[in-house]
Structure 1
Amino acid sequence: MFKKIGIVSRLDVEEALKLSNEALKFISKKGIEVILEDELSKALGLNSGTPLNKLEADLILTIGGDGTILKTCMNIPNPETPILPIDMGRRGYLTEVPPEHTIDAIEECLAGKYKIEEHSKLSVFHDENFLVDGLNEALITSKMPLKPLNFDVSAGSYRLIEIRADGLIVATPTGSTAHAFSAGGPILETNLEAFDLVFICPLKPIRSIVISDKIDVSIKLSNEKLEAVLVVDGCYIKELSLNSKVLVKKSKHKALFIRFETRFLSRRLSRLVSRM
């Protein structure tokens, strides 16, 4: 079923590099073409890597934590390539397989003994120009710490709220257990078709707002003298000029993950509780 398998790994952990090399050898022995992300290839002393934004495969193995997964989801040319996440990170809320079970998990994939879990994504626009898709969230905050911004937020044609706050997060259900959760937002069930709007340190007491992801979220930085910054999934950063407008829509693409069980939400909740 899989003719080409890509491998993306974190590079700052020796065990992750060792495991990447083991996976490379195991998959190659199966007669399947392996495509290494170029930085990983260099770290392994090879010169046959491919830039992540050109890495086309039938399956991608990520060896790392959530950051490795988010970077991969954002940059691969085919955004709906299935991803098998191996946990070599600090948190690993999105990861599925402990490192010691990597080879077994690859065997299960090759045998077709897995399920595909779909996660909705969001698309981010700046002044009507498409920027990037994100799996977790889009964050807008001031470039200068502790300086609140004036957010004018609309949902579709309806003006939702105007408020001053240190920041605003628009999160997917997947991202609701990430930065948005740390900022006091609710946890959304993975299959819920919604956006989670979470205000960071608002000057008015206001809870998070959950709206349908079928509605576009428009954010204007009105009458603002402070420069702001847009951060998507901690990977993409863009400085925003005065009076910028950011639009967040539901992406037409989904992130696809290889799973061997179907308890994603309960698994993430248990990890949140155990790691607090």
Structure 2
Amino acid sequence: MENKIKVSKSSSQKKIINKINRVKIIRKEYLEEDKLIHFYDYMKLNKIEETEDTEKADLIISFGGDGTLLIAAKEALKKDIPVMAVNMGTLGYLADISSKDVIQMMEKYKKNQYIVDERTFLKVKYNEKEYYALNDLVISKGGIASQIINVEVYANGTFVNKYRADGIIIATPTGSTAYSLSAGGSIVHPNLRALSITPLSAQSLTARPIIIDGNEVLSFKVFSRDNDTHLNIDGRINFRIKLEDEISAVMSSKKVRIIRRGKSDYYGILREKLRWGESSVK
């Protein structure tokens, strides 16, 4: 839980203040330090320390794009504290706070004047180990020269479908606007506890994306002629799949809380960031 103290204004009115003593900062690669001078000046003036230990932090701040936010979100699994995502990338779909507004957002956070966007993780079990994905897991062939693969999908042990394709994407609602969307998958509202299955270049014309109950445990059987298939988790963790490997996925109870700069309008964000609904003909 975030570190909060209460300051009494009167017997009938109380104001909540979020203490910020230490922050965990995650930066994108090759970020010029001079772009953060004003922020570090603010930290020094307010006696806020930077810590590498997430357990000691009151807040996580990511400077970068949505990829940097994925790293920050995994850090939030170690301690239930919010992530303030500052956009220093290009799209900034989830990281929507501009660098010029970060100090103002810090002040709003301290005064408890902020919007929280909660996003649920996908829990992936690969053999005996568990991993968490904010966006998706992808089962795919190894490369351009690799053979097409067969992926059987089961939900709570019940056969769903067999995909003969370059691979499949299992996406959370958050991930539905990422790789899955570019592969033809549906946009899924983040408040839904649902998962989408999107095939990659399926051989059959009838293989279409499907949205399923996120409470169902998905399991997979993967076959290929050249034994060159891969499991990728959030674009960062990669395994070469063996025939005997066990893979499963289900929506987790774990969430990351992302601080937003204004009123949370999901459809407005889709229109602004993804140009959703715009005509392709001018």
**TM-score interval w.r.t. the shorter chain?**
0.7 to 0.9
Q: In 2, Cα distance between the equivalents of 1:21 and 1:238?
A: 39
Q: Secondary structure at the match of 2:159?
A: strand
Classify the secondary structure of the residue corresponding to 1:203: coil
Matched residue, 2:30:
12
Deviations for 1:170-212, whole angstroms, at most 9, x for unmatched residues?
Answer: 0000100000000000001110110011000111121101001
- How far apart are the structure 2 equivalents of 1:79 and 1:199? 35
Conserved? CA contact 1:70–1:235, under 8 Å: no
**For the Cα contact (< 8 Å) 1:150–1:164, is it kept in 2?**
yes
Deviations 1:126-146 (A, max 9, x none): 12x233101000011111325
Letter in 2 for 1:4: R
Conservation of the 8 A alpha-carbon contact between 1:170 and 1:196 = yes
User: Which blocks of at least 5 consecutive residues in structure 1 are unaligned?
Assistant: 36-49
Equivalent residue number for residue 210 of structure 1: 211
Greater CA radius of gyration, 1 or 2?
2
Which range moved further: 167-176 or 219-228? Answer: 219-228
CA distance in 1, matches of 2:174, 2:267: 9
- SS at the partner of 1:131? strand
- What is the TM-score of this pair, normalised by structure 1? 0.86
> Runs ≥4 in structure 1, deviation > 3 angstroms?
222-225
What percentage of aligned pairs have identical amino acids?
27
Using the TM superposition, name which of 89-98 and 5-14 deviates more: 5-14
Q: CA RMSD in A?
A: 2.0
Given residue 172 of structure 2, which amino acid in structure 1 is its aligned partner? T
1:74 is displaced (CA, Å) by 2.4
Question: Higher helix proportion, which one?
Answer: 1
| Distance verdict in 2 for CA 1:180–1:75, change over 3 Å | same
CA–CA separation in structure 1 for the residues paired with 2:26 and 2:60? 7
Give the aligned length.
256
Equivalent residue, structure 1, for 2:245: 244
Q: Is the 8 A contact 1:94 1:268 kept in 2?
A: no
Verify the 8 A CA contact 1:7 1:20 in the aligned structure 2. Answer: no
For the pair 1:144 / 2:143, whether they are aligned, the reply is: yes
Stretch moving more, 153-162 or 175-184: 153-162
- Aligned to 1:85, the other structure's residue is in SS state strand
> Match of 2:268?
266
Distance 2:79 2:178 in 1: 21
Aligned ranges for residues 121-200 of structure 1 at < 5 Å? Answer: 121-127=121-127, 129-145=128-144, 147-200=147-200
- Distance in 1 between the 2:71 and 2:91 partners? 15
Taking the aligned partners of 1:185 and 1:68, their CA distance within structure 2 comes to 23
- Displacement, 1:13? 3.2
After superposition, the C-alpha distances for 1:228-247 in whole angstroms (9 at most, x for unaligned) are 11111112112212343310
SS where residue 97 of structure 2 aligns?
A: coil
Contact persistence 2:76–2:82 (CA under 8 A)? no
> Match for residue 233 of structure 2?
232
